[in-house]
Amino acid sequence: MKRMPLYIFARFEPLPGKEPQLRGELARILEPTRAEPGCVRIHIYESTRGPLVYFIHSEWIDEAAFDAHAELPHTRRFVGAVVDLMANPFQAVRSKRIG
């Protein structure tokens, strides 16, 4: 069976005054995630016009690789650390490339 790459788009809107902490947590998750065997790439983005919003875009070899990522200690620590830094609940979209 051929693996189908999975693309994740996650949105993080910081609470006022919590921007530096949220940005730091986002930066902290990059290295351990990039070291995972199923991670093809992961990058953080910041909106260029208000309101300030951060995004993670990541690519995984397949859905199983991302599911495994979600259960790892560094991912669980990250989710617990950012929940109180965000204005809205965590939002992530699983997607496939169509063009």
Q: Say yes or no to pLDDT of 95 above 70.
A: yes
Cis amide prior to 51 (ω within 30 degrees):
yes
pLDDT for res 1? 65
* Interval 37-89: pLDDT, tens: 999 999 999 999 989 999 999 999 999 999 999 999 999 999 999 999 999 99
Contacts of 64 (CB under 8 A, 6+ apart): 38
Task: Look at the pTM and tell me if it is higher than 0.85.
Answer: yes
DSSP per-residue string spanning 41-73: EEEEEE-SSSSP-EEEEEEESSHHHHHHHHTSH
* Interval 36-48: pLDDT, tens: 999 999 999 999 9
First-last CA distance in the chain: 22
Q: What is the fold of 6-95?
A: Alpha-Beta Plaits (3.30.70)
